[in-house]
């Protein structure tokens, strides 16, 4: 059974600072996936970002990415609640052309394409996928 490891714990960070947390899935020490998410110092919008989420090539399609999403959602909800706020939206930016798999993955996990940004990436749009919690 894979273990979820988090670093740092939300209780280790002083209120009023931005927060970045790494969430790893490991089994017997072997990395099965890693996510990094971030919250700004002002939590009043209830918005957090998944900055990165990767499952090693040879471990994909085993549900580990899905387990990481669950762990990130849980950690983000704990973090916002512990500071008197509520998580409203979680968002992730993916590359339109080179991350087609990621788009299918995010849709399976209740993220929806809510915006496209042009002139940010090279020769493709950045697509913003958002999951709502209200």
| Min dist. Cβ of residue 15 to ligand COA (A) | 29
Residues 95-134 that bind ligand COA (CB under 6 A): 99, 101-102, 104-106, 108
Residue 23 · residue 72 · CB < 8 Å: yes
Task: Indicate the length of the chain as a whole number.
Answer: 134
CA-to-CA distance for 131 and 114, rounded, in angstroms?
Answer: 9
Nearer to ligand COA, 88 or 103 (CB): 103
Strands 89-95 and 112-117: unpaired
Q: Which residue, 2 or 65, has its beta carbon nearer to ligand COA?
A: 65
Backbone angles phi, psi at 54, to 5 degrees: -140, 135
Cis-peptide into 107, omega within 30 deg: no
Select from 8-16, 17-25, 37-45, 92-100 the region that touches ligand COA (CB under 6 A): 92-100
Q: Name the one residue in this structure whose structure tokens are 């999403």.
A: 69
Q: How far is the CB of 34 from ligand COA (least distance, A)?
A: 9
Strand partners, 7: 22
CB of 53 to ligand COA, least distance (A): 4
Question: Mask of contacts with ligand COA, 47-86, x by CB under 6 A?
Answer: ------xxx----xxxxxxx--------------------
Is 31 near ligand COA (CB under 6 A)?
A: no
Q: Is residue 31 within 8 Å of 40, Cβ to Cβ?
A: no
- Residues found near ligand COA in the complex (CB under 6 A): 53-55, 60-66, 92, 94, 99, 101-102, 104-106, 108
């Amino acid at each position: 059974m894979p273990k979820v490891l988090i670093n740092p714990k939300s209780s280790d960070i002083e209120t009023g600072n931005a927060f970045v947390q790494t969430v790893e899935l490991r089994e017997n020490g072997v990395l099965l996936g890693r996510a990094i998410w971030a919250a700004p110092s002002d939590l009043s919008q209830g918005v957090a970002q998944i900055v990165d989420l990767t499952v090693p090539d040879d471990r994909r399609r085993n549900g580990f990415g899905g387990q990481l999403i669950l762990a990130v959602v849980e950690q983000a909800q704990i973090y916002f609640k512990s500071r008197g706020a509520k998580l409203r939206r979680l968002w992730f930016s993916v590359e339109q052309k080179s991350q087609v798999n990621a788009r299918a993955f995010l849709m399976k996990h209740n993220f929806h394409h809510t915006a496209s940004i042009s002139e940010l990436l090279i020769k493709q749009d950045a697509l913003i996928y958002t999951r709502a919690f209200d």
